Structure 1
Amino acid sequence: MSSLRRFHGQRFADGVGEVVESEENFKIELDVSHFRPEELKVNVVENELVVEGKHEEKSDKYGK
């Protein structure tokens, strides 16, 4: 079984993303709406895709 087949239709924790497969390829859809492009890093490490996002939470005048 290929690695792709193992992840077919798998959802990520808390509905953050999903693997979508077609006849020709597959894609990983992730909700990164809270990040700017410069806050995201995508790498392949030891044959695994690693997506990292890092940003500082800013609080409003009420501390939220």
Structure 2
Amino acid sequence: MKTVTLTQDMRPWRDGDDIHVDDKLARSLVENGEAKDLRPFNPAGEKYEDRSMRAGGGKQGYKTKGSQA
């Protein structure tokens, strides 16, 4: 997998979007001028944080509507 930045609109993506595609397709897009900045796909980059689910700090329990008698 490679990541490229598109240089034109290509549905469903828009100009400037970073997309992750197969190696052959990424090279083809760059060669045709439809994309730039070919780089390896790195899902564990700076923005990625691996953590387990945990309960929030707010009031616990179900949120329900009050019943009116």
Q: How high is the TM-score relative to the length of structure 2?
A: 0.23
- Larger-Rg structure: 2
Structure with more of its chain in helix, by fraction: 1
Structure with the higher fraction of residues in strand conformation: 1
Instruction: Output the TM-score relative to the length of structure 1.
Output: 0.23
